[in-house]
Amino acid sequence: MSLPDQTLRIGLFGGSFDPIHEGHLSIAKKAIEQFRLNRILFIPAAQSPLKVNSPAASDEDRVEMIRLAIGDNPYFEVSTIEIERGGISYSIETAERVACQNPGAKLFWIIGGDQAKQLDRWRDIEDLVQKVEFVYLERDDQASLPKVVSSLTKLHPLQMERIPMSSTEIRNRAKSGDLPKYFLPESVFHYINSRGLYRDELTTT
């Protein structure tokens, strides 16, 4: 009789998380369920290589918002390895570090559908695909994926409803004093307000 697979399954969820919102948490929860992950590491980037602008909130604020958002969920952890490393946050370096810290673990890199279409631009993608399986948020308007992606056998769509809110929209609304409460964990909503994040200037009511 064969024994059950005891391989540790870790999800790597990278991004700016500027700020983290309910959509991020929904993606993580769905990935846990669909791919039987033991835990997910939320990894805020120091600087995403395919984004021109730096995060609007500080590293410390973004990390604290993630900690507040995940609370005591036993499946979720925050990892500051990219912030500690500094500079451009390349996924291959992060995957190698996590693999060294967790010998024998199976790694799943969670990305958005827009990122999936840009995988051919990722540094050392040929090496990265040997270390991780990709989980991407499938979208209704998903165009054909790049050849380097379509040739991969470890690319899995995450089947869930489209997220109606983005971090960019949250920041833009916060600037006008219309922070969307219901798209943010309550603790993150209060943190943004108390710190006056994403506003051109702090206002009081």
pLDDT digits (tens, 9 = 90+) for 145-165: 655 555 655 888 898 887 778
DSSP assignment, residue 183?
G
Q: Is the pTM of this model over 0.85?
A: yes
Instruction: State the pLDDT at residue 3.
Output: 42
Amino acid at 64: E
pLDDT digits (tens, 9 = 90+) for 45-72: 998 887 767 889 999 999 999 999 999 9
Residue extents of the structural domains in the chain: 9-162
Nearest in space to 188 (alpha carbons), one of 23, 65, 27: 65
Nearest in space to 134 (alpha carbons), one of 25, 143, 19, 151: 151
DSSP for 128-178 reads: HTTTEEEEEE--TT--PPPHHHHT-S-EEEE--PPPS--HHHHHHHHHTT-
Three-state SS at 199: coil
Instruction: State the pLDDT at residue 176.
Output: 86
Burial of 146 (0-12, 13-18, 19+ CB in 10 A): middle
Q: What is the mean pLDDT of each run of 10 residues along the chain (205 residues)?
A: 69 96 95 97 90 87 98 97 94 96 96 83 90 83 56 78 85 90 95 91 39
Amino acid at 29: K
Give CATH superfamily name and number for 9-162: HUPs (3.40.50.620)
The DSSP H or E segment spanning 94 is helix 91-101
Instruction: State the pLDDT at residue 205.
Output: 35
Instruction: State the pLDDT at residue 12.
Output: 98
